Amino acid sequence: MPVLTVVVDQLLAPVPGGTGRYAREITGALAARPRPGWQVRTVTAWHRDTDAAVIPGVDGPHRLPAGRRALAELWRRGLPPSVRGDRVHATTPLAPSRRHGLVVAVWDTVPWTHPETLTSRGARWHREMVARAVRRADAIVVSSCAVADELAALFPQIGGRLRVIGLGVTAMQPPADAAGRRARLGLPDRYVLSVATLEPRKGLDVLIRAMAGPAVGDAHLVLVGPPGWGGVDVASVASTAGLRPDRLHRLGRLTDDDLAAVLAGATVLAAPSRAEGFGLPALEAMAAGVPVVATATGGLATLPPDAAHLVPPADPRALAASIDTALAAPRRPGPVHRFIDAFDWSRVGAALDAHWGR
Strands 268-271 and 191-195: parallel
Q: Which residues pair with 105 in a beta bridge?
A: 141
| pLDDT in the model for residue 289 | 87
Domains of the chain are 3-168+343-356 (3.40.50.2000), 178-340 (3.40.50.2000)
| pLDDT in the model for residue 358 | 43
Task: Considering only the C-alpha atoms of the chain, give the largest distance between any 2 of them, rounded to a whole number of Å.
Answer: 64
> How does DSSP assign 24-45, residue by residue?
HHHHHHHHHSPPTT-EEEEEE-
> How does DSSP assign 138-173, residue by residue?
SEEEESSHHHHHHHHHH-GGGGGGEEE-PPP----P
Amino acid letter at 58?
A: V
The model's pLDDT over 317-343, given as tens digits with 9 standing for 90+, comes to: 999 999 999 998 877 766 776 777 778
Rounded Cα gap, residues 250 and 225, in angstroms: 8
Residue 49 burial (10 A CB sphere; 0-12, 13-18, 19+):
exposed
| pLDDT in the model for residue 329 | 82
Distance spanning both ends of the chain, measured CA to CA: 12
Q: Is the N-terminal amide bond of 61 cis, ω within 30° of 0?
A: yes
Spans of the chain below 50 pLDDT: 358
Q: Can you point out the beta strands (E) in the chain?
A: 3-7, 39-44, 59-63, 87-90, 102-105, 139-142, 162-164, 191-195, 220-224, 248-252, 268-271, 292-295, 309-311
pTM: 0.86
H or E segment and range at residue 235: helix 234-241
| pLDDT in the model for residue 231 | 65
Q: Which residues pair with 168 in a beta bridge?
A: none
Radius of gyration of the chain (CA): 20
